[in-house]
Structure 1
Amino acid sequence: METKRKKFQGVLNILSFNRHFYIIGLGILGVIMISNQLFEWPELLFWIIIAAFLYGLIMPLLVSAYVYDFSGYYEFEWLKNCSIDHENTKHIININAGFDETSFIIKDNFPQADLKVFDFYDAKRHTEPAIIRARKVSLVYPDTKQISTHSIPLPNQSVDLVFLLSAAHEIRSHEEKIQFLKECRRVCNPNGKVIMVEHLRDLPNFLAFSVGFTHFFSKAVWGNAFENAGFTFFKEVKFTPFMSIFVYNP
């Protein structure tokens, strides 16, 4: 299966999946510009507001281009920093939230391994317009199975590697996060790893996405969830200032 991404695919995804924000933002910007013709705004205030709106519209696209199109994220070079024993990695699961850009790439990186793909998307709980649109264009890995975040249909300690790539933040409830991570720990063998990649609710992502950074969770929130799920050891690898790779051992 061809896994090479198109140029600027990350930016195009952001525009497509979040077009409602851009339509609303451009609409408000248009109203402000028209109102400036009808009423005399203080010139400095007018240009500050225009600059703020343009920043909020353009900066997420620039950062997305950097992270998803130019940083090498989808080349998986960052796996070298995760201490993966490729030779003894025989059973892998990749869990997504209804949008899968990584399963075929994972299989290319671990051709000898058995890869199972699970999708925990729940239309009743995960109502973000962006993820609904993303599902319509997502590649579906063969035999992808729909699951609940409360149950991964695999035996105890049967998996060497669990991938959670830019998906786990779609679980908005903290208690649901904990239950889901308990399931990840249950299926992961004692020498295995859970690799989670996420944007964080921190200063760099605030500067990148402004109020949109609230869609993500802080390092402390994730740390609490993993600790309550029974994980005791982890390391964080920073992949660009805007994305963190967490490697957890059960």
Structure 2
Amino acid sequence: MEKRRKFQGVLNILSFNRHFYVIGLCILLLITIGYIVFDWSNLLYWIIIALFVYGLIMPLLVSAYVYDFSGYYNFNWLDTCQIDHTSTKKIININAGFDETSFIIRNVFPKSNLSIFDFYNAKKHTEPAIIRARKVSLTYPNTQNIESNFIPLKDKSVDVIFLLSAIHEIRSPKEKVSFLKECHRVCKSEGKVIMVEHLRDLPNFLAFSIGFTHFFSNHVWKKAFKDAGFSSFTETKFTSFMSIFNYQP
């Protein structure tokens, strides 16, 4: 496994979402031209400039905080999930083709059997950011590509399922529930589904402005898991911008 570079998290965000920054800079240029040509008021111009600069810079600052300085990739937050390492025999980590966590999970659970699944479907999951991310992601050995509606494992065979900043790429509510039903099927009765996600809430709006619509609300996730058959969960905040959901069948 390659060691994470300094500011790798924020550089990933900048690289994967560069189309937003190109568009934003072009709009800033047009606004400046409009200011010069049409003689807007100075106050209006600088308010607009401040809002655009905020919208461009704040996501990078928050991403640096969450992914580079908060200790997210140290996995110390996993202590809140109360996983018994001695009885955890089978683990799966499911991603959308951008995998920064499987090697870490391997180190955290060296005695467990770890399988990696990638549910990415180019026809369904069309976000430009995830397409770019897949091109630079390390691939864990023997990663299996799957359909989101079928996990090729036996019923009640998995102790822990990790869904780490991945399943928001499933945009369809129906597909989301179908996928989670599969997680419910393969998860042991005493097993856990650990999901980490940004939410569509006020802190993430302040951080990502309109980009927070790429995430889903707490209510959406609760409903999807409930519809998939899960009966209990806990939610723990990891920074103000991410939530750790611990679901059990």
Structure 2 match to 1:34: 33
Q: Deviations over 1:63-88 (max 9, x none)?
A: 00000000000000000000010111
Q: Deviations over 1:159-212 (max 9, x none)?
A: 000000000100101111111001001101111100000000000000000010
Distance 1:24 1:183 in 2: 39
Q: What's the TM-score once normalised by structure 2's chain length?
A: 0.99
Distance 1:34 1:176 in 2: 45
Q: How does 1:235-246 map to 2 (within 5 A)?
A: 235-246=234-245
Q: Deviations over 1:36-95 (max 9, x none)?
A: 222211111101100000000000000000000000000000000000101111100000
Q: What's the TM-score once normalised by structure 1's chain length?
A: 0.98
Cα shift at 1:17: 0.3
Structure 2 match to 1:47: 46
Structure 2 match to 1:138: 137
The answer to whether residue 73 in structure 2 is matched with residue 74 in structure 1 is: yes
Distance 1:180 1:163 in 2: 13
Structure 2 match to 1:199: 198
Structure 1 match to 2:161: 162
Structure 1 match to 2:62: 63
Distance 2:136 2:146 in 1: 20
Q: Deviations over 1:103-149 (max 9, x none)?
A: 00000100101100000000000001100000000000000000011
Letter in 2 for 1:89: T
| Count of residues in correspondence between the two structures | 249
Q: Deviations over 1:213-248 (max 9, x none)?
A: 001000000000000100010000100000000000
| Aligned-partner SS, 1:111 | coil
Unaligned ranges ≥5, structure 2 = none
Cα shift at 1:34: 2.1
Structure 2 match to 1:103: 102
Distance 2:128 2:32 in 1: 28
Distance 2:124 2:116 in 1: 20
Counting aligned pairs with the same residue, the percent is 72
Coordinate RMSD, CA, aligned: 0.7
Structure 1 match to 2:171: 172
Cα shift at 1:5: 1.1
Distance 1:162 1:71 in 2: 23
Structure 2 match to 1:5: 4
Structure 2 match to 1:208: 207
| Aligned-partner SS, 1:86 | coil
Cα shift at 1:35: 2.2
Distance 2:213 2:35 in 1: 31
| Aligned-partner SS, 1:88 | coil
Distance 1:36 1:237 in 2: 46
| Aligned-partner SS, 2:30 | helix
Letter in 1 for 2:51: A
Distance 1:75 1:59 in 2: 24
Distance 1:78 1:166 in 2: 14
